[in-house]
Structure 1
Amino acid sequence: MLPPILQNLRIPVVASPMFIVSGPELVIEQCKAGIVGSFPALNARERDGEPPLLAAWLTRIEEELDRHNQANPDRPAAPFAVNQIVHKSNTRLERDIEICHRHKVPIWITSLGARPEVNHAAHDCGGIALHDIINVTYARKALEKGADGLIAVAAGAGGHAGKQNPFALIQEIREFFDGPLLLSGAIATGRAILAARAAGADLAYIGSPFIATAEANAVEGYKQMIVDSGADDIVNSSLFTGIHGNYLKPSIRNAGMDPDALESADPSSMDFGKGTAKAKAWSEIWGSGQGIGAVKSVQPAAALVDRLAEEYAAAKRELCAA
Structure 2
Amino acid sequence: MPSNQELPSVFRDLRLPVVGSPLFIVSNPKLVIAQCCAGIVGSFPALNAREKDGDPIALEAWLREITEALDAWNQANPDTPAAPYAVNQIVHRSNTRLERDLEICAKWNVPIWITSLGARVEVNEAAHSCGGIALHDIINNTFAKKAISKGADGLIAVAAGAGGHAGPQSPFALVQEIRDWFDGPLLLAGAIATGGGVLAAQAMGADLAYIGSPFIATDEANAAPAYKQMIAEYGAEDIVTSSLFTGVSGNYLKPSIAAAGMDPDALESADVKSMNFGDGSSKPKAWSQVWGAGQGIGAVKSVGPARAVVDRLAQEYLAARERLL
Give the corresponding residue for 2:122: 117
**Percent of residue pairs identical:** 74
Measure the CA separation in 2 of the matches of 1:86 and 1:52. 20
Measure the CA separation in 1 of the matches of 2:308 and 2:279. 35
Give the corresponding residue for 1:53: 58
Aligned ranges 1:1-322 → 2 under 5 Å: 1=5, 2-320=7-325
**SS across alignment from 1:247:** strand
**SS across alignment from 1:212:** coil
Measure the CA separation in 2 of the matches of 1:276 and 1:252. 18
Moved over 6 A (4+): none
How far apart are 1:51 and its partner, in Å? Answer: 1.8
1:243 aligned partner, one-letter code: V
Kindly provide the CA deviation profile for residues 149-192 of structure 1, in whole angstroms up to 9, marking residues without a partner as x. 00000000001000000000000000000000000000000000
**SS across alignment from 1:57:** helix
Measure the CA separation in 1 of the matches of 2:285 and 2:184. 40
Measure the CA separation in 1 of the matches of 2:12 and 2:172. 24
How far apart are 1:276 and its partner, in Å? Answer: 1.2
Kindly provide the CA deviation profile for residues 262-314 of structure 1, in whole angstroms up to 9, marking residues without a partner as x. 00111111111121111110010000000000000001000110000000001
Q: What root-mean-square deviation, in Å, do the aligned CA atoms of Structure 1 and Structure 2 show? A: 0.4
Normalising to structure 2: TM-score of the pair?
0.98
Structure 1 unaligned regions, length at least 5 = none
Kindly provide the CA deviation profile for residues 95-143 of structure 1, in whole angstroms up to 9, marking residues without a partner as x. 0000000000000000000000000010010000000000000000000
Measure the CA separation in 2 of the matches of 1:149 and 1:6. 12
**Residues paired across the two proteins, number:** 320
**SS across alignment from 2:165:** coil
How far apart are 1:52 and its partner, in Å? Answer: 1.1
Measure the CA separation in 1 of the matches of 2:58 and 2:242. 32
1:306 aligned partner, one-letter code: D
Measure the CA separation in 2 of the matches of 1:229 and 1:239. 22
**SS across alignment from 2:119:** coil
1:171 aligned partner, one-letter code: Q
Normalising to structure 1: TM-score of the pair?
0.99
2:128 aligned partner, one-letter code: H
